[in-house]
Amino acid sequence: MGEPSSSPVLDRSNVATAHGRIKRHIHRTPVLTSRTLSELASTPQPAAALVGTPYEGKRPAQPRIQLFFKCENYQKIGAFKSRGAFHALSRLAPDQLAKGVVTHSSGNHAQALALAARTYGIKAYIVMPTISTPSKIAATKGYGAEVIFSGSTSQEREAVVEDVVKKTGATLVPPYDHPNIILGQGTMTLELEEQVQGLVKDDPSLSVHRESNIHQSSHTAINGSTPPCETSAGHLDAVIAPLGGGGMLSGVATALNGTGTRVYGAEPSFEGADDGRRGLEANERITTVNTLTIADGLRTPVGKINWTVISDKSKVKGVFAVSEEQILSAMKLVMERMKVFVEPSAVVGLAVCLYDEGFRKIVEEEGGKEGWDVGIIFSGGNTTLEAISKLFATGEERAERAEAKVGKDGERVAENVAG
């Protein structure tokens, strides 16, 4: 896809340009609200929930939070990845498109690139590990891609990709660690801003700032030119995005840089899946992750380019991690209260709002009596009823968690395939 140095710089204006390139190919996904979940987020946690944490014995935070959910689970292929894939292809030259594209992924990026390639009328070669689930293999093939199987290690996958490139001349489109992917993923943020302003304009009671005397400077343009006035009704105080490889969080942070909206990442803590949070503490990117967290879309380490954005405190204020139980609890609330079908990875941001006392203290201290309007990214909904039923039926049993753990010889394998 070309060297990152030859790609557009990572700034808000180029996110807007990316949106113009892809908007005819993607869904403008809805933004939903939930009075019930906002009230739960604004309710102090019971003292028992803080036992064993640094906040044990202390007064629980009393934040005031209004939630706005950007539902990328309704995006084409069921996840946000379509945005980055379509933007990446829009940047390729005709001679590159003629030779096709290739990637390695067993997740949403595989399906997104397959769909984008079919839309452009070009060939897509998708390298997938043999441990990939049949449903994901079938979905990728269903979009017209040629699926080529490999081993599950990064070395094995990359070797197959290199072989495909040598034989076909196809262009590699990485799952997340490239500026064109980052800019594409950031486009959801421009829509989110505009949609929240529209919702609050129609119903001011949706915002915690409804009684504010601060007037908005102007309506946020979808071209990203003029951000709204901070703390005004319709302006998001914060956005929380899931963090895996970091393409989405980097895109969100790039789009919101300079607007006054704080950006946070959310990730699972199980078996070291919180590499982003730990990396920030150590001031060094963590390069390997080996986890069977139920948030299977977040089982990959942060990419090199994405790390330069995420580790910049002026762009990302922090990253929080949540437990498996907290993810399941948030997922249950979304499905039962909002009637929205999501995968575990999608709800880590909501789990932070509900259960992370550190984040809740920040909202209480910085938001004061008025509180914060918080945007939550639901990243996708690519799971099955069977997988969900297992998650809620097995409790602490983790042998059957998530998907794609059974290798071709029957061994249990943690699938950490990017994208």
**Catalytic residue numbers?**
81, 106
What element of type H or E holds 63?
none
* Amino acid at site 52: G
For helices 81-90 and 12-22, angle between their N-to-C axes, nearest 10 degrees: 90
Question: What is the sign, positive or negative, of the torsion defined by CA atoms of 374, 198, 222, 219?
Answer: negative
Instruction: Provide the strand spans (E) within 10-117.
Output: 31-33, 65-71, 101-104
Residue count of the chain: 419
Exposed e or buried b per residue across 311-333, where buried means at least 16 C-beta atoms within 10 angstroms of its C-beta: beeebbebbbbbebebbbbbbeb
**Chain mean position to CA 73:** 10
**Chain mean position to CA 325:** 20
Residues with Cβ < 8 Å from 385, sequence gap 6 or more? none
CA-nearest of 10, 51, 11, 8 to 259 is 11
Cβ-contact 404, 149 below 8 angstroms: no
**Chain mean position to CA 150:** 26
Dist. CA 414–CA 396, nearest whole Å: 17
DSSP helix, strand, coil percent of the chain (3-state; round to 5): 45, 15, 40
β-strand partners of 148:
127
Cβ-contact 18, 87 below 8 angstroms: yes
**Rg of the chain taking only CA atoms, in angstroms:** 21
Dist. CA 229–CA 345, nearest whole Å: 32
Tokens of 312: 């910049």
CA-nearest of 233, 188, 195, 131 to 16 is 188
What element of type H or E holds 375?
strand 372-378
